[in-house]
Amino acid sequence: MKRKGCAPLMEDRFLKYSTLAKQMDRWDSLKSFRDLFHIPPATVYMDGNSLGLPPKAAGQALEKAFGEWKDMAIGGWMAGSPPWFHLAEELGRKMAPMMGASADEVVMSGSTTINLHALVSTFYQPSGIRTKIVADELNFPSDIYALESQIRLKGLDPKKNLVLVKSRDGRSLNEEDIAAAFDDTVALALLPGVLYRSGQLLDMEMLVREAHQRDIVIGFDCAHSAGAVPHRLSEWDADFAFWCSYKYLNGGPGSPAFLYVNRKHFSRLPGLAGWFGYDKSRQFDMSLEFHSAGTAGGWQIGTPPVLSASTLLPSLEIFANAGIEMLRRKSLALTSFLMDIIDGSLSQQPYFYSIGTPRDEVRRGGHVAVEHEEAWRICQALKKRKIIPDFRPPRVIRLAPTALYSSFGDIIAVAEALKEIIDVREYEKFSPERDAVS
């Protein structure tokens, strides 16, 4: 007998998706890693692109670091495990394989924006007609604030010397448009690896090639790609990069950041020199003449935050055991599954959800931008159901199924909630006024 109406068909479709999700979870070779993380009870967590969940071993690592401080006091700088004096370099060594870099090209240091300042102050050297920086209008605002200030510090006008490449659709960037902005007035380019709102993954290799053909130094903000996407920074010949560790890398709120400097630049003096960028073999000579470490470590400024950095040690060990290539494959499968459900079942009346993230796997990072006119209130309804997304204006529900701890069953739970919130108009219970943190 033929069924009538769309509701039974929708139920059949979700049943098939649910059956498929169970199969995929059974076949998932990475499913055991989920047990290594603290997941809030009865919660589906889809916000790992803003703040990753804590590894269970992170608390032990923090207690260990505290114990060393308690028992060794200042002796921990050399007797800690690892010695605090070399902690930034040790974490850089562990991070480097994920970024396609040599161990001495990566170091833990500062915060994302501090690292931007440290690197841009080094590599932005306007001269003659080459005075401009190329960025993009979809970039995370903090990067733009910092670039404007770097231009002002050089005595130039950001309105004339900061070129923001336009988006054709308000969601994504076209690499050809970016390359077209690379002319002989440009001194430096700074671009995101993955766009924070739409999740578009830029072709970093192509952009490096285009920039270098025009003698332009180029760097990347990898905050939304590090830990989600394999990189080959050295192979691509990128000049520099920086990223945070509290998103996909699960270092914890405010955990320290990382930076990358291509070894061909090791002989350069950092634009912002500081105590921990000094040659470690002579750091305590207390010379007033700065001697750079001669590695990426030369771009450190201040003392590493030992306690907050300690939680990164178990997280990076988990990544080493899982393998970034395997994690990428699962991430793509999770985001593809989510987009397939939304396209197939939730894009038509009365739901009207749409996808703002590229479908092409080579152009997609680790999260999905689900768009809806009521995105803010839908996010509040999801959180009430203990499904944790985040919101980005004007109409984006960001969903990040993180390969280390998300399941395909989680995707089903999210999709069913998105459907039910519209079916019963649940979002109408929430105020359209946004909170300070979204």
Task: List active site positions.
Answer: 140, 221, 246-247, 398
Q: How far is Cα 390 from Cα 48, in angstroms, rounded to an integer?
A: 10
What is the amino acid identity at position 253?
P
Report residue 400 as tokens: 């990040």
Please give the DSSP secondary-structure letter assigned to residue 187.
Answer: E
Residue appearing with tokens 């803010």: 376
Please give the DSSP secondary-structure letter assigned to residue 106.
Answer: E
Q: How far is Cα 342 from Cα 415, in angstroms, rounded to an integer?
A: 7
Q: How far is Cα 256 from Cα 226, in angstroms, rounded to an integer?
A: 14
- Which helix H or strand E contains 150, and what residues bound it? helix 141-153
Q: How far is Cα 430 from Cα 432, in angstroms, rounded to an integer?
A: 7
Report helix, strand or coil for 318. Answer: helix
- Which helix H or strand E contains 44, and what residues bound it? strand 44-45
Spatial CB neighbours of 309, under 8 Å, sequence gap ≥ 6: 87, 88, 91, 108, 251, 255, 256
The C-alpha torsion from 380 through 384 and 387 to 388, rounded to 10°, is 50
Greatest extent of the chain over all pairs of C-alpha atoms, in Å: 88
